[in-house]
């Protein structure tokens, strides 16, 4: 049995229950409820993650890159909107009614919410220990939570290290982390970015602002060099009691080895961290080569899952020597609890990176010039019907989605395996006829009968100028599956209110920003999804003109955002949809 709830947790749950009467079936809901609509960049959220507690399927947790604690653009120079040094961006959100309503807790930490500034020159920002809407205990441990969130639920271990659902559930929150100290002698770890994991065994208390409900972060990546930039992680806990490795936690990431040294000197092997003690300690395993040259590109965009028998799967996108220069979705497996891993082999593809190279941003963009980057659109997202929490009704169907194609029509592709990854179905495009796919993720019910897919898409063609509107939507699809037969046709069950992505922004203002992924999760009775959303973001003509001037190769000065833009410029949010009533 779980411990009795604290009084703050009871009060929080009472508020949730009171709100349920207003739930509107079939509608979507804002996840980032703690964020104000203005000013920029405090109103900026993107790159959502989601997890459902398999043993308590009404409990859903999400994460995102959240600028809620950053300084206003008016702090310091009026035309700069920097990331405030030392301030974290790993937001966390809780739902106790299957994803219909959300709450964002407030803790204490290094905060720039007090840095409002004023029009004209002012002294700049002086962060203080104050309220934060992000994961706690980073500042106190010499770290900064740097986003790229990944969340997973697993069983809680008891005092002897035995995992059982009867002990309760443990939430794992993985993210990038930087050193809080500015000098090498103040550094907690080597390199630019590491991967850290936070944990809580009491989500009710964590949702009710109880900072002590969270354990201090644990650094997983072994930072052996000052040039390492660990990036794009995903976490998973083996949550099927039928597995011989039940409770084992897996964390995959790309380790860029030559970061900031040279654009041609950044080999990026995939690594997997494995923990058998609930995240206290971790072993590290390199599962792909470290090459980045004319023959092989680095592997990136990983995802990790387990089946009901304890086989662990890691997927990523990259090239293999046997396939020339083409990129494929790659798979590596472990059947011994993460001690050893197979060579990464191609399972789907070849894939192409949709978008046009933007010389100002130095990256491919997909919706138009100065637009949303699409580097990781082809990265695979995967789920497995592992029968959690017991594993008894698992079909172990593996479902995968990714985005690939040309600039005119980037497709959302779906493929699957019903024999443990031995063979895969021919990828099929499943997006709507007017949708240009952006990022996507699938979810399959634990018993394998229902498949859900979420994707962001643009419904407008590539725009050669920043002066014309663009349209971004979030879409959720559903299909049924049976036995070892193929998943049926997908039907659209939700389409969000569109928004203009020009209203989103990088902190340096030179382009839009929507992050690198979306997420979905499923139970036996419902599916849920989260996506990047700009319905409440206002386009700013002054920003459009500034970005266009840069694209034209002209010298330009950034506008003063809070004086020259609508108040809700930059107001990107995370929205969710659930099929649960």
List per-block mean pLDDT (blocks of 10 residues) for the chain, which spans 581 residues: 37 41 69 97 98 98 98 95 97 98 98 94 91 98 97 97 98 97 85 95 98 98 86 96 98 79 65 97 92 63 97 93 81 98 95 95 97 95 98 98 97 98 98 97 98 98 98 98 95 98 98 97 98 98 98 97 98 97 83
Contact between residue 522 and residue 444 where contact means Cβ atoms under 8 Å apart: yes
DSSP string, 517-581: --EEEE-SS-EEEEEEE-TTPPP-HHHHHHHHHHHTT-------HHHHS-TTTT--EEEEEE---
Q: Which residues contact 541 (CB under 8 A, 6 or more apart)?
A: none
- Residue whose structure tokens are 């995968």: 400
pLDDT value at position 7?
36
How many Cα atoms are found within 13 Å in the side-chain-facing hemisphere of 496? Answer: 33
Tokens standing for residue 43: 């109103």
Provide the 3-class DSSP secondary structure of residue 474: strand
Residue 4: closest CA among 199, 278, 205: 205
Residue 329: closest CA among 281, 285, 377, 290: 377
Q: How far apart, in whole angstroms, are the C-alpha atoms of residue 57 and residue 202?
A: 15
The CA distances from residue 357 to 367, 370, 415, in Å, are 11, 10, 28
Helix %, strand %, coil % of the chain (to 5): 10, 35, 55
Contact between residue 72 and residue 127 where contact means Cβ atoms under 8 Å apart: no
The reported pTM is 0.94
DSSP state of 288: S
The neighbour count for residue 485, using CB atoms within 10 Å, is 9
Residue 378: closest CA among 425, 334, 328, 338: 328
Q: How far apart, in whole angstroms, are the C-alpha atoms of residue 328 and residue 345?
A: 9
Q: How far apart, in whole angstroms, are the C-alpha atoms of residue 320 and residue 101?
A: 44
pLDDT value at position 324?
67
pLDDT value at position 366?
96
Residue 513 main-chain phi, psi, to 5 deg? -150, 125
Residue 369: closest CA among 464, 480, 286: 464
pLDDT value at position 39?
96
Q: How far apart, in whole angstroms, are the C-alpha atoms of residue 354 and residue 412?
A: 11
Contact between residue 181 and residue 151 where contact means Cβ atoms under 8 Å apart: no
Q: Is 324 left (phi over 0), alpha (psi -120 to 50) or beta?
A: left
Query: Burial of 184 by CB count in 10 Å (0-12 exposed, 13-18 middle, 19+ buried)?
Result: exposed
- Residue whose structure tokens are 């138009």: 368
- Residue whose structure tokens are 């203080």: 128
pLDDT value at position 261?
56
Q: How far apart, in whole angstroms, are the C-alpha atoms of residue 6 and residue 200?
A: 14
Alpha-helical (H) ranges within 328-404 are none
Q: How far apart, in whole angstroms, are the C-alpha atoms of residue 581 and residue 578?
A: 8
Q: Is 518 left (phi over 0), alpha (psi -120 to 50) or beta?
A: beta
DSSP state of 141: G
Q: How far apart, in whole angstroms, are the C-alpha atoms of residue 457 and residue 438?
A: 5
């Amino acid at each position: 049995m779980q411990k009795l709830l604290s009084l703050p947790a009871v009060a929080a749950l009472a508020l949730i229950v009171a709100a349920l009467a207003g739930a509107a079936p079939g509608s979507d809901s804002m996840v980032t409820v703690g964020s104000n609509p203005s000013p920029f960049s405090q109103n900026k959220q993107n790159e959502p993650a989601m997890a459902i507690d398999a043993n308590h399927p009404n409990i859903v947790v999400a994460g995102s890159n959240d600028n809620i604690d950053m300084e206003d653009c008016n702090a310091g120079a009026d035309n700069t909107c920097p990331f405030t040094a030392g301030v974290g961006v790993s937001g966390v959100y809780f739902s106790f009614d299957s994803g219909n309503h959300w709450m964002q807790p407030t803790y204490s930490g290094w905060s720039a919410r007090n840095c409002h500034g004023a029009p004209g020159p002012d002294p700049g920002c002086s962060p203080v220990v104050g309220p934060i809407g992000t994961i706690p205990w980073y500042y106190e441990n010499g770290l900064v939570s740097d986003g790229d969130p990944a969340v997973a639920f697993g069983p809680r271990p008891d005092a002897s290290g035995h995992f059982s659902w009867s002990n309760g559930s443990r939430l794992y929150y993985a993210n990038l982390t930087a050193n809080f100290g500015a000098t090498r002698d103040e550094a907690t770890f080597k390199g630019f970015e590491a991967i850290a994991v936070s944990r809580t065994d009491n989500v009710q208390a964590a949702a009710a602002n109880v900072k002590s409900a969270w354990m201090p972060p644990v650094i997983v990546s072994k930072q052996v060099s000052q040039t390492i930039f660990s990036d794009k992680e995903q976490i998973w806990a083996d949550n099927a009691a039928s597995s011989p490795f039940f409770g084992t936690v897996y964390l995959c990431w790309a380790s860029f080895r030559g970061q900031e040294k040279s654009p041609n000197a950044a080999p990026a092997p995939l690594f997997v961290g494995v923990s058998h003690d609930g995240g206290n300690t971790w072993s590290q395993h390199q599962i792909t080569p470290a090459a980045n040259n004319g023959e092989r590109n680095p592997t990136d965009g990983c995802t990790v899952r387990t089946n009901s028998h304890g086989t662990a799967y890691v997927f990523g996108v990259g090239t293999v020597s046997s396939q020339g220069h083409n990129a494929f979705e790659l798979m590596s497996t472990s059947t011994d609890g993460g001690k050893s891993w197979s060579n990464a082999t191609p399972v789907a593809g070849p894939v192409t990176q949709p978008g046009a190279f933007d010389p100002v941003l130095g990256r491919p963009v997909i919706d138009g010039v100065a637009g949303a980057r699409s580097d990781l659109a082809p990265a695979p997202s995967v789920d497995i019907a592992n029968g959690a929490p017991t594993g008894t009704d698992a079909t172990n169907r593996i479902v995968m989605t990714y985005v690939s194609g040309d600039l005119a029509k980037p497709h959302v592709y779906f493929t699957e395996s019903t024999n443990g990854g031995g063979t895969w179905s021919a990828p099929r495009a499943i997006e709507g006829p007017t949708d240009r796919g952006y990022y996507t993720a699938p979810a399959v019910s634990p018993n394998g009968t229902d498949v859900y897919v979420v994707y962001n898409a643009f419904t407008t063609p590539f725009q050669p100028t920043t002066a014309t509107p663009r349209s971004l939507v979030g879409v959720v699809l559903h299909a049924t599956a049976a036995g070892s037969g193929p998943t049926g046709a997908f039907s659209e069950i939700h389409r969000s209110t569109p928004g203009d992505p020009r209203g989103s922004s990088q902190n340096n203002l030179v382009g839009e920003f929507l992050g690198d992924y979306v997420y979905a999760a499923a139970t036996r009775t419902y599916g849920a999804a989260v996506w990047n959303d700009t319905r409440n973001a206002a386009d700013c003509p002054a920003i459009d003109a500034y970005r266009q001037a840069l694209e034209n190769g002209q010298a330009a000065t950034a506008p003063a955002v809070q004086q020259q833009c609508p108040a809700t410029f930059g107001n990107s949010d995370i929205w969710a949809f659930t099929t649960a009533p």
